[in-house]
Amino acid sequence: MSDGAAPGSALQRYRVCPVDDVPEGGGVLVDLGGREVGVFKHQGELHAYDNRCLHQGGPVCSGEVLGVTRLELDAGGEVVREYLDDSDRRLICPWHGWEYDLVTGELAHDRRFRLRRFEVTVEDGIVYVDA
Ligand code: FES
């Protein structure tokens, strides 16, 4: 498992789409020179990941983006309420449900690992990814 490009590899800058075409709280899947990359928007920030799950290589970027279910407990540890926290978004791999933090790409159940991510920039309203 790696984070970022291999040392010495040459990245190429790709034009992806107008920034408004990336939905807030969701993303788009694009082919950049034969590599599938998911570009996501969360709270106005863009994040790009390799469409390859760390588990068995599933198409993680085509999975759903969901908030996190949280529990509010009383002093005795009983559940007072259960609610969806949309400020903490997860990318869910469609094959077996592994969850990744949408902002960091970290594997939610073991943050030592994360999806390969790519640099995203916006110039004149257009999204570019170095992949
Ligand atoms: S391949 Fe993604 S959870 Fe198994």
Distance CA 74, CA 42 (A): 31
The pLDDT tens digits of the residues spanning 48-66 come to 999 999 999 999 999 999 9
CATH code assigned at 97: 2.102.10.10
Q: Which of 49, 56, 61, 109 to mutate to test the pocket of ligand 1 (most atoms within 8 A of CB)?
A: 56
- 26 occurs within a structural domain: yes
pTM as predicted: 0.86
60 in contact with ligand 1, CB cutoff 6 A:
yes
Range(s) of the domain holding residue 93: 16-123
- 68 occurs within a structural domain: yes
- 3 occurs within a structural domain: no
- 7 occurs within a structural domain: no
pLDDT at 9: 65
The pLDDT tens digits of the residues spanning 63-89 come to 999 998 899 999 999 999 999 888 889
Q: Which residues pair with 81 in a beta bridge?
A: 72
Distance CA 108, CA 101 (A): 6
- 116 occurs within a structural domain: yes
Query: Could you tell me if 25 and 84 are in contact, meaning their C-beta atoms sit under 8 angstroms apart?
Result: no
> Structurally, how many domains does the chain consist of?
1
